[in-house]
A and B are shown apart, each in its own frame.
Chain A
Amino acid sequence: MEFQTTINGESHLIECEPGDTLYRVLRAGGYASVKQGCDCEGTCGACTVLLDGEAILSCITPAPRAAGREVTTVEALGHPSKPHVLQQSFVAAGAVQCGYCTPGMILAAKSLLDRERSPSDAQIADALSGNLCRCTGYVKIIDAVRDAAATLREEAK
């Protein structure tokens, strides 16, 4: 089947099988930041992407669900010479160890900060509740999101 979607601001015509997941389509399209951590059961959050700005688990999302909608992966957020404020905050706070969960964490956090510029720690924990990290624990990750929120508030002044 075929459908039109927007990935990271660019329009794409996707050809896929009716049962394909969004994860499979994105990986096939070269979006390497989208990871598989669990057995495509929606339990780890490494495959998190944004669909119209909302964090979803692409490994259990039907690919055609993206038809006519906007998909965002972490590739769209920044690059080494000009990282996104969340990426900077993760590095500065030491919130990255192996890095496998980081793209999902950053997108889940972006979804939160796009709707709430002054999140409480409980709101940050809730936003990251679907994303597992097996290296760092979560303290530094929550620190990083809190720092990013503060920076964004400063920038908005």
Chain B
Amino acid sequence: MIRAYHQPKALKQALALVAKGATPVAGATAVYTAKSEREQTLVDITRLGLDTIDVKASKVTLGATVTLSQIADDTRLPGMVGAVLRQGARALVSRPLRNAVTLGGNIAHPCFWADMPVVLLTLKASLEIQKAGQKTKIIPIAKALADKKRAWDKGLITRVMIPLDKPTVGWGYERFARTTNDYAFVTACATLRREGAIARDVRLVLGALQLRPFVVTLAAELCEGQEFTGHLLDAVGLEIAKSVRAAPNFRASAEYRQHLAGVLAKRALATAFAWAMREDA
């Protein structure tokens, strides 16, 4: 039950309302599809000027109310970071939904199948969080997602920053769902750098298995400094399938999704390595 709907034009006003317990919304898809009977006051944050994408040499800064369509269509987003961001945004296949769903909302109201948190965790993004009467905080997304107490409670995620300081790396993104429009069973995103036949700086994130995406440190442990062969990838896939935990749901059993995690992890890593080879060509 929505009791009031505010549309402030100043961030300060929005923060004051949120501090009093109002629910911030941008696309509002999470609130309006939930049809909650809980009494809520909504604060629409789409008129605060947080809908810009800024590309600098060292980082990309995305406003919290940037829509997934803006990201999917933005060819200024450079290199590997741009490609991974656009891929993650396009994973939400419905264009009108992409026109509504915002980056901040995708983080703040995390659906376990959401693609952008997977992408942002892979790219080592940081969140700018503002609260009424407090100094602005910058928190790595890995910390924000791991913390059960949500860092943005009673405040707002205002911007998302992604570093561009890495050398060129390869990337792979894999997602499996019953249909392109359906929620993912498993999502896997990998980045790495190549030195000859050796993989370096391997980073693998899995999503849709648990409430929040997580970094698979095992992938880096098994691949780092190793010759990148099919045999190695098979071993990594098997180890990941054995070690990850998946929450069962009505779409698939935990066992099936664990097996799938190994398969998709392997594919994402293989694609990332192939990209890295291509960069050299």
Residues in A lying within 8 Å of B, measured CB to CB: 1, 17-19, 21, 40-43, 45, 48, 54-57, 59-62, 64-65, 67, 108, 126-131
Contact = CB atoms under 8 A, between A and B. Distances in A.
5 contacts: A42-B100, A57-B97, A62-B5, A129-B93, A130-B95
Contacts of B181: 43, 129
B44 A57 contact: no
A45 to B, nearest CB: 6
Contacts of B2: 17-19
A130 B101 CA distance: 13
Interface string B179-197: 0010000000000000000
Contacts of B42: 18, 62
Contacts of A56: 96, 99-100
Interface of B: 1-5, 7, 25, 28-29, 32-33, 35, 42, 44, 46, 69, 93-97, 99-100, 181
A126 B95 contact: yes
B44 A60 contact: no
Contacts of B44: 62, 64-65
Contacts of A55: 95-96, 99
B25 A62 contact: yes
Most buried by B among A17, A43, A62: A62
A33 to B, nearest CB: 16
Contact of B33 (A19, A41, A130): A41
Given A18-B5, A19-B2, A62 B96 contact: no
A153 B2 CA distance: 46
B5 A64 contact: yes
A65 B94 CA distance: 20
A74 to B, nearest CB: 15
B25 A129 contact: no
B100 A61 contact: yes
Nearest to A48: B96
Contact of A60 (B3, B5, B33, B93): B33
A130 B96 CA distance: 6
Contacts of B99: 54-56
A61 B5 contact: no
B46 A65 contact: yes
Contact of B96 (A1, A40, A64, A108): A108
B28 A65 contact: yes
A128 to B, nearest CB: 8
A10 B122 CA distance: 47
A57 B46 contact: no
A54 B29 CA distance: 16
A79 to B, nearest CB: 25
A19 B69 CA distance: 25
Nearest to B73: A115
B22 to A, nearest CB: 12
Given A54-B99, A62-B44, A65-B44, A130 B32 contact: no
Nearest to A54: B99
A134 B44 CA distance: 35
A65 B69 CA distance: 18
A54 B70 CA distance: 12
Given A42-B33, A61-B32, 9 more contacts: A18-B3, A19-B3, A42-B29, A42-B94, A55-B96, A56-B99, A60-B100, A65-B46, A130-B95
Nearest to A65: B44
B100 A21 contact: no
A127 B32 contact: no
Nearest to B46: A65
Nearest to B26: A65
